[in-house]
Structure 1
Amino acid sequence: MKAKTLLGVILGAAAGLAATTAALVSLGNRRVDKWETLTQDDAADGDFVTLRDGTRMHYIKRDSATVGQSPAVSGQPSAVILIHGLMDSSEQWRANIDALAHTRRVWAIDLIGFGFSSRVTTPTYSMKMFARALRDFMDAQGIARASIVGHSLGGAIALEFAHDFPARVEKLVLIAPATYLLQFRPELKMAQHLPFVPRALIGWTMTHRRARERALRDALGDPAHFDPEELARRTRPMRVRGTADALVAMLGSPHGSDLPQDLARVTAPTLIVWGEKDRAVPVRHGAYHTRALPNAKLVIVENAGHIPQYEYPDKVNELLLRFLDQSD
């Protein structure tokens, strides 16, 4: 084959690939535009508070009055704040919040970028940003100190908060915290160095029903716990406008953290809960946390996956209540 002919074949193939890629990107972006049809105010079930930086945080609050209980203690009940994981929302705590609220004031928050909270579309996300937002939320709600319960990403944020604002933390509960994830997942380390993540790629994943279903199934220890209605509830906040752009910004933000090397400074009483069959953040990470945190206890929930509070709510609620009720 002559050089000119070979060059023509290569250029033709490159042009075809570029055209195909452009078509897929365009289609992915159109899928996002058709998918993101909700606004914060139209879809939210709870209330909003405006933080210092102007972002709006959505939250659900429960206490003894809202769950039909007489106050069990005199004076102001203690405060508990629930923080969800990646690609989730306050909806995650549906099976837990009322059980905790019988004797406490409980807030389940939507992190900035998730649930029905504001979508920040600049690459300014970090553990410290989330921790500052939690501090601002507590200030706005008049919460001086609280027990912080965090799952996965929310667990890492809870640790960052306890590290940065120790006086604001009464107790910590970490459910499969993703603190060490970047150290043990090489593909996530590689993702840190990508120059950008196309909105269309996220759009294909977010809008594809089977991809969403697979994500929930993979998070479960027992496939019998899969519930299509639960999937629909968890999916709804992903349809808020700006979600894909916010995820692009998150993936483009700096992910490095010194927290895993500095956990000894987190001295709050800490309960660590892990699902025995967690494939997202393996249970061996629990041992790392227990060794690093000076005042921590690890409990493993048999047969549970990455979301034990959803799969086995009665077991986890009992663990939480027993721990929160203990005097130091």
Structure 2
Amino acid sequence: MGDPRLAFDAAYDAALARWPVPVRSEEVATRFGTTHVLVSGAAAAPPLVLLPGGGATALAWSRAIRLPAAVRRVHVLDPVGDAGRSPATTPLTSTDDVTDWLEEVLDGLGLGAVDLAGHSYGGWQALTFALDRPARVRRLALVDPTTTFSGFSPGYLLHAVPVLTRPSAARMRSLVRWETGGRPVDDAWLDVAAAGADVPAAAPVRTRRPDPARLGALTVPTLVVVAGDGRAQDARQVARRAAQVMPRATVVTLPGATHHTLPAGAEQALTEFLR
């Protein structure tokens, strides 16, 4: 058996070679570890920061980057301690750590207030940051965020627990195949996510649903994108709850989208929201 890290790096490089717009890498030092960032778009454009789902890496945004990069300077993060190229020296252990880490990344990139978007667990991270540092967020987009407006569905947990407790490439591929129901996904990205499951990573911060009162008080313009055919959570419940607790938010349900086909497919809604 080969070195899992070498296999992951090879898959990451292969997927990055297929990034559909010009891209360069940056490294940002934080007290939690160095954060790897993929940067695309015109240098003079307003900044957009993208966060991937847990275990997904920055490359999850590959098929959703073209339209946003046409109107924004896009910074896509490999979250520190997760799968990707941002190993943690001090693991994130609390929501305060999430906020502090992301603020240090923005400071290291020389960014003030930014547009911020996240998918899945990255959506929860983005919302956590916006609630704690609203002055740093111009617009907020949550793409099928988890543990935010609803819990995971029992069926998804049944399939995801093996990945969480004994992660492996085969289990990650099986979860994605089941959740997407055979819909096409980016094969290069799936190779990265599968290879990443074989590489040890820090435990994610335990997520809790935000206080509804804080959500209702948030004045940052917000878009919530819901996977209409997703199996990770109940789409109708997520959309209904988001509209209830964030009445200022724009809630869009994408028919045919699933949790793991996203963020690809959300780029048009995201770009229109940013204009």
Change (3 A) 1:260 1:128: farther
1:301 to 2:254 alignment: yes
- Cα drift, residue 237 of structure 1: 3.8
1:82 to 2:35 alignment: no
Q: Which amino acid in the other structure matches residue 87 of structure 2?
A: S
- Cα drift, residue 39 of structure 1: 8.7
- Name the structure with the higher strand share: 2
Q: Is the Cα contact below 8 Å between 1:92 and 1:310 reproduced in 2?
A: yes
Where do 1:189-228 residues align within 5 Å?
205-209=166-170, 211-220=171-180, 222-226=181-185, 228=187
Change (3 A) 1:259 1:207: same
Question: What TM-score comes out, normalization by structure 1 length?
Answer: 0.69
Change (3 A) 1:102 1:179: same
Q: Is the Cα contact below 8 Å between 2:227 and 2:257 reproduced in 1?
A: yes
Q: In the alignment, what sits opposite 1:267?
A: 219
1:234 to 2:193 alignment: yes
Structure 2, gaps ≥5 residues long: 17-24
| Whole-angstrom CA distance in 1 between matches of 2:106 and 2:99 | 11
| Whole-angstrom CA distance in 2 between matches of 1:166 and 1:144 | 12
- Cα drift, residue 132 of structure 1: 1.7
Cα RMSD between the aligned structures? 3.3
Matched residue SS, 2:71: coil
Q: Is the Cα contact below 8 Å between 1:79 and 1:106 reproduced in 2?
A: yes
Structure 1, gaps ≥5 residues long: 1-30, 66-75, 190-196
| Whole-angstrom CA distance in 2 between matches of 1:293 and 1:268 | 10
Where do 1:108-147 residues align within 5 Å?
108-114=76-82, 115-119=84-88, 124-147=92-115
- Cα drift, residue 47 of structure 1: 2.4
Count of matched residue pairs: 260
Change (3 A) 1:185 1:125: farther
Where do 1:19-30 residues align within 5 Å?
none
Change (3 A) 1:321 1:204: closer
Q: Pick from 7, 12, 35: which aligns with 2:4?
A: 35
Q: Is the Cα contact below 8 Å between 2:156 and 2:179 reproduced in 1?
A: no
Identity %: 24
If you compute each CA radius of gyration, which structure gives the higher value, 1 or 2? 1
| Whole-angstrom CA distance in 1 between matches of 2:234 and 2:224 | 13
Q: Is the Cα contact below 8 Å between 1:127 and 1:156 reproduced in 2?
A: no
Matched residue SS, 2:193: helix
Runs in 1 of length 4+ with deviation above 4 angstroms? Answer: 36-40, 42-45, 181-189, 201-204, 253-258
Q: Which amino acid in the other structure matches residue 190 of structure 2?
A: L
Q: In the alignment, what sits opposite 1:99?
A: 67
| Whole-angstrom CA distance in 2 between matches of 1:227 and 1:43 | 13
